[in-house]
Amino acid sequence: MSETPASAGQQNGPVSQRTRPAPSPPRVFREDFDAFYVAEKPSLTAFLMFVGASTWEADDLAHETLIKLLPALWMTIEYPRAWMRKAAYYDYLKQHQRSREDLTDEMPDLPGGICPVSEVELSTQTNTVVEAVCQLPPTQRAVMAFVLDGAGTSEIADTLNMTNVAVRTNLSRARRRLMTTLSSEGGEHDG
């Protein structure tokens, strides 16, 4: 097949019509932070859950990260989605480097508050994937979380201070482990 996806289905026209640049990331409208917050918080929360945060931790970190964008950063950051992913990831790492006491009681929903579980509803299959990703070694887990959130190899390499080759190697190893883990869990559920 010699045609590119951009030219698929088109007749022989001028070259400029057949070759199109790669689609750009969704445009961020700087005037409407509220819309950006509503659109991005669930995906940032899910990203943090893939990194290893609990639902509550992920929700808190996502909120804190998005709030850091205000007031000055929001208008100046060129790629706010990439910035918030990177900031949230490093905040998560800092949070887990401190020694913390494990809570034994369930945290109650606050009156008027929004339960993060209702904001990020994960299917049973997605929960299984989250659990499997959380079993990966830390570097593979981080790389896989970024990939699942839509980041490219060079963005991941830049964020994690790795080479592109190291990112691809960790991604390959993570995929192999996930295939093994998920196929063995699938067999347990069938029998």
- Confidence bin at 187 (pLDDT 50/70/90): low
Q: What is the value of pTM for the model shown?
A: 0.65
Q: What is the dihedral of CA 24, 119, 55, 156, to 10 degrees?
A: 0
Buried b (16+ CB within 10 A) or exposed e, 37-76: beebbebbbbbbbbbbbebebbbbbbbebbeebeeeeeee
- Longest C-alpha distance within the chain, in Å? 67
> Count of H helices and E strands in the chain?
10, 0
161 has pLDDT over 50 = yes
Domain locations in the chain as residue ranges: 30-96, 124-191
Q: What is the mean pLDDT of residues 45-65?
A: 89
Flag the least confident range among 5-14, 67-76, 109-118: 5-14
Domain 124-191 has CATH 1.10.10.10: yes
